[in-house]
Amino acid sequence: MSRVLGLDVGDRRIGVALSDEGQLIASPLTVIQSVGWGPDSREILRLMREHGADLIVCGLPRNMDGSEGFQAEKVRRFMQVLIDQGVPVAWMDERLTTVSAQRALIEGGVRREDRKKSVDKVAAAVILQAWLDNAQNEKEKETMANDEEILRPDEEPEEEEVPDVIELTDEDGATTRFEYITTIDHEGTLYIALMPIEDEENADDENGYVVFMQIEQDEQGEDYYVSVDDDALVDVLFEKLTQMLDEEE
């Protein structure tokens, strides 16, 4: 098997990661200082030739509700330059990958000034690793399907709905997995509603609760979120959420 190149494309820098030949493990490779689509694409092609990669996995910046904004459009247009040169490109949702990369560097004891130099290629590795894991899971599912009884023509497998999963880490380093429920617009400000995903450790706990996070944007126009601590605002958001769910039913 050949290697796969992972990209985290930004306006000023492009983080690059590389898989092993077995396409199981992603590792940070380098950071390209962006000077223009032409030189940037040539440097990416050079790295592909140097490391024997024949596929690019590019992170696609989406908003928290899954929609694509201006930044995603710019990334798609840049990658089209490589696609036009015959390079196959696969896309991977990159929501929260920068947060995961920062967390990994902090836990690794990397100094603040060094984190700025490394976060882009670590984010690229997070994107690529997610894609590799998904590809491996699909191969395992395909193998299991081949071992199972063949369905009759009138039988169809049930599709299991896979929730959008977000991981949040508190000040003590404990990570909780949440399911994205919906986005709420309140007085011109957007909030996301999340629900903790039950696991074996809290399977006996009471029913799950809802967490609200305010969506904000950084200087590059990318989404990030902050917790909502105002109880009165939480009550208003919960009421709106209830109304939205009732309307959907």
Residue whose pair of structure tokens reads 């200082």 in the numeric block: 33
Q: Are 124 and 10 in contact (CB under 8 A)?
A: no
Give the separation between CA 197 and CA 181, rounded to whole angstroms. Answer: 11
In terms of DSSP bridges, do strands 223-227 and 89-93 run parallel, antiparallel, or are they unpaired?
unpaired
41-55, 59-73, 224-238: range with lowest mean pLDDT: 59-73
Give the separation between CA 138 and CA 108, rounded to whole angstroms. Answer: 31
CATH class as words, domain 3-142: alpha beta
- The confidence band for 100, taking pLDDT boundaries of 50, 70 and 90, is very low
Per residue in 78-99, pLDDT (tens digit) is 999 999 999 999 998 876 544 4
Per residue in 150-186, pLDDT (tens digit) is 445 555 555 444 446 777 776 677 777 778 788 888 8
Q: If you average pLDDT over residues 214-227, what whole number do you get?
A: 76
Give the separation between CA 182 and CA 194, rounded to whole angstroms. Answer: 8
Give the separation between CA 169 and CA 155, rounded to whole angstroms. Answer: 43
Which part of the chain has CATH 3.30.420.140? 3-142
